[in-house]
Amino acid sequence: MKLSNGVEWALHCCVSIGQSKAPVPAARLAELHGVAPAYLAKHLQALSRAGIVRSTPGPTGGYAFTRPAAQITVLQVVQAIDGPEPAFRCTEIRRNGPLAVPDDQCSGQCAIARAMAAAEQAWRDALAGVSIDDLGRGIDEDSSGTAMRAVREWLADAR
C-alpha cells in the first residue's frame, strides 16, 4: 500500500498539535518538521475539512484539535489526506481475453478481489485502533520519555 508523504507529515503534525495547550501556527509546524510551509498548509486544510483540526486566525492563532487526541485515529488522518477510496480496484479482467469467464459466473468477487478486500479491511481496522494519543505515547517511549517534552517546550517557546 502506497501512501502520500502528506500522510506522514499530517500524522507528525497531529502528534505535535496534541502536545500544545494553544493553537499551533502552520509556519511553526513546518519549521518544527523541516517541511515546505505551502505544502504542509494544504494538508492542514485537509485535516480541517475532515473536522480533525480547526484553524484559529490572528496573532495567537493556529491549528488545534476539534476533539481529544485519544479520539482521533490514524485511519481518520490517512483518509483526510489520501481519501477514503480503497487501495485495490478490481477491473474484472477475468471477463477479458480468449478465456474470459462468462458473466453468469462473475456474480461475486473473485479470489483475488476477496483477498485484497480482506487485507485492506485488516489494514483499516489496525489504523482505526491507533489514536494520535497512542502515537505520542509510542514516540515518547521510543525516546525514553524525552521527545514529547521537547516538542511541548519548543512549541511553548514560540509564544
Q: What is the arithmetic mean of pLDDT over 23-28?
A: 95
Spatial separation of the C-alpha atoms in residues 152 and 71, rounded to whole Å: 20
What is the per-residue pLDDT for 60? 84
Q: Does position 159 have pLDDT exceeding 60, yes or no? A: no
Encode pLDDT of 48-84 as tens digits.
999 999 999 988 889 999 999 999 999 999 999 999 9
Q: At 140, which amino acid appears?
A: D
Structural domain including 33 reads: 5-157
Structure confidence by residue, pLDDT tens digits, 111-152: 999 999 999 999 999 999 999 999 999 999 999 989 999 999
- Residue 158: its pLDDT value, please? 60
Helices marked H in 21-110 — which ranges?
26-33, 37-49, 74-82
What mean pLDDT is reported for the chain? 94
pLDDT level of residue 7 (50, 70, 90 thresholds): very high
Q: Which residue has the cell 483540526?
A: 53
Q: How many residues does the chain have?
A: 159
If one counts the domains in the chain, the total is: 1
**For the domain that residue 35 is a member of, what is the CATH number?**
1.10.10.10
Q: Please provide residue 76's backbone torsions phi and psi, each rounded to the nearest 5 degrees.
A: -60, -40
pTM, entire model: 0.90
